[in-house]
Copies of this chain bind each other. A is one copy, B any other.
Amino acid sequence: MAKPQGAAFWMGAQTLPIPMTMFRDNREKVIGELRKVRTFDGTALIVLQGGDNISHYDTDVDYVFRQESYFMYLFGVTEPGCYGTVDVASGSTTLFVPRLPSEYAVWMGPLLSLDDFKQKYEVDAVYYADEIDVKLGELNPSVLLTLCGPNADSGLEAKPANFKGIEKFVVDSDILFPVIAECRVIKSPAEVEVLRYVAKVSSDAHKRVMKNIRPGWHEYQGEAEFLHHAYSVGGCRHVSYTCICGAGTNSAILHYGHAGSPNDRLIKNGEMCLFDMGANYNGYAADITCSFPVNGKFTDDQKLIYNAVLAARDAVCGAAKEGVSWVDMHLLANRVMLGEMKKGGLLQGEVDEMMSAGLNGIFQPHGLGHLIGLDVHDVGGYLSHCPERPTQPGANRLRMARTLMAGMYVTIEPGCYFIEPLLNKAFADPNLAKFLVKDEIDRFRNFGGVRIEDDVLITKTGIDNFTLVPRTVDEIEAWMAQ
C-alpha cells in the first residue's frame, strides 16, 4: 500500500499506513462529546500522560515499549515519556516530549527536533516535557481534565497525568473518563480500516500455522509461526495478548500459555489444537481463535463438538446487529450449542431446562465475547450508564451486557470445553447431572475443548466479519490438506 500524503504510522511494504488524521478525528470526537455533557468557562484542557519504558527489574534492559491506550487513541505517539494536551474549545493540540541530551544521538540516532515531532504527529505545538507546567501556565487554563477511572476487566484504575507543578492548577479527574471511554466504544471509519487490517494479518498468520503444523510439533512452534507472519508480513511487532496454543487436554485451559505452562507440550497425532492469537498494529488489536485437528482430519467426535460450537457461532453471526442485547446473544449461543450436544447424544432433557439449571456455564465458563479495539478487552463494557453484569452462570463472565450499537467491534467466541473440575461439579449436582449422558461425556474427558473466535463489526443490519479463516470442517480439512 502506498504511503499517504500526510503524516502516518507505516511499517512499509504491504502494511497499512495509519494517517495521523485518524487521531485528530478521535480528539475532535472526544471534545465534541465533552462539550455536550458540560459547559466549560475559560480554557479547559485535556491532559494525558503517555507510557514510560519499563526495565526488567534493576537491569538496563527494557521491555519493548507499548504505548498506553488512551494516549495512543488521542495522539498516536509511539515514543515513551510524553504528555499531550487538547484544548476542549478549539481542539488545539500540544505534545510534550522528553528533552534528550545531545549525546544520546550516538545511541539513538539523530534526535527529533520539536518541529520534527510536530510534523510527525500533525499537532499544533510541541514543547519539552520538563516545561509542561510553565507552558500550561501561560494558557491560564480554568481546568485540566485528567483521566481516572476503573478498568472493568482488570479491576485496576487508569492513572491520571501527573507532573511537577500540577498542584498549581485546578484539576478534574472525573469528567473525562466516561466520555473518552464511550468514544472508544464506537469505532471511526479510519479505525475500522486499521482493525480490518490487523484482523486480516492475524487471519493469514493463523492460516499459515494451520497449513504448516503437523503432529510432533511443540505447541510453541505454532506460536512462533504466528508471530513470524504477523511481524514479517504484517509489520506487527506486538501481539495483543500472550498466545494461547493448547493441544489435547490443554485446549480446555482457557488462559493456557502463561509462565507456568508456556505452550511447551508436544502435540500428538489425533489431538485437537485450540490456538487463540491476535496481532497488534500500532496499538490496535485482533483476537482470533482457530480450533482444528493437528493432523488436518476431524474424527467424528471432533466434528460433533466442533460443529456444535460452529452452530452457536453461526447463530450469533446471523442474529447480532444494532439494537440486540449482548446478553441475549450469549444465551443464544449457549442454547444452540447445548441443543447440538443433545442431538449428538451427550446431553438429555430440555435445553431450556439445562439453561435454567446453568449447564451452559459448565461447558462454556466464559462470556460470548467482548469489545475489542486499542485494548484486546476494550474499555466501555460496564460504564456507569451501562447495564450491570448479569448474575447467571456463564453470562456472569460477560465483559459487557450492553445493547449492540453500529460501530461497536466485538469478538464472537463461543466454546465447548471438557474441564475436569467443572464436569465433576456437574456430576455431583443432581440438578445438572440429570442432563448428562455419563458414558458419552466420559468418552470426552480427555478431549480438551473447541473455541471459534471471530472479530466482527456491528452494523445497523448485522455484522461485518473481519476474520477470514477456514471455518467449516470441510474448509479446514481442505486448507490443511494443501
Residues of A within 8 A of B (CB): 11-13, 51, 53-66, 68-69, 78-80, 102-103, 105-110, 112, 151, 153-154, 156-159, 218, 220-221, 223-225, 227-228, 231-232, 235, 237, 240-242, 250, 253-256, 258-262, 264-266, 365, 375-377, 419-422
Docked-complex contact A259 and B78, CB < 8 angstroms: yes
Set B58, B60, B421: member contacting A105, Cβ < 8 A: B421
Docked-complex contact A240 and B109, CB < 8 angstroms: no
Residue of B nearest to A148 (CB): B58
Contacts of A54 in B (CB 8 A): 54, 63
Docked-complex contact B260 and A78, CB < 8 angstroms: yes
Set B11, B59, B65, B224: member contacting A153, Cβ < 8 A: B59
Q: Smallest distance from the beta carbon of A150 to chain B beta carbons, Å?
A: 8
With A54-B54, A237-B220 in contact, is A253–B107 under 8 Å at CB?
yes
Beyond A64-B242, A108-B261, 12 extra complex contacts between A and B, CB < 8 Å? A11-B264, A12-B218, A12-B264, A51-B57, A54-B63, A58-B154, A58-B159, A59-B69, A59-B375, A60-B156, A105-B421, A221-B232
Residue of B nearest to A103 (CB): B421
With A106-B421, A260-B108, A264-B12 in contact, is A55–B365 under 8 Å at CB?
no
Q: Smallest distance from the beta carbon of A162 to chain B beta carbons, Å?
A: 14
Set B63, B68, B365: member contacting A106, Cβ < 8 A: B365
Q: Smallest distance from the beta carbon of A247 to chain B beta carbons, Å?
A: 12
Residue of B nearest to A250 (CB): B109
Q: Smallest distance from the beta carbon of A255 to chain B beta carbons, Å?
A: 4
Set B65, B103, B105, B242: member contacting A258, Cβ < 8 A: B65
Residue of B nearest to A377 (CB): B60
CA distance A242 to B255 in the complex (A): 26
Contacts of A241 in B (CB 8 A): 61
CA distance A419 to B66 in the complex (A): 29
10 A-B residue pairs with CB within 8 Å: A12-B266, A56-B66, A57-B158, A61-B377, A105-B419, A106-B254, A107-B254, A108-B260, A220-B237, A224-B232
Q: Smallest distance from the beta carbon of A237 to chain B beta carbons, Å?
A: 6
Contacts of A158 in B (CB 8 A): 57-58
Q: Smallest distance from the beta carbon of A227 to chain B beta carbons, Å?
A: 7
Contacts of A218 in B (CB 8 A): 11-13, 235
Docked-complex contact B109 and A55, CB < 8 angstroms: no
Residue of B nearest to A232 (CB): B224
With A64-B242, A225-B228 in contact, is A59–B156 under 8 Å at CB?
yes
Residue of B nearest to A263 (CB): B237
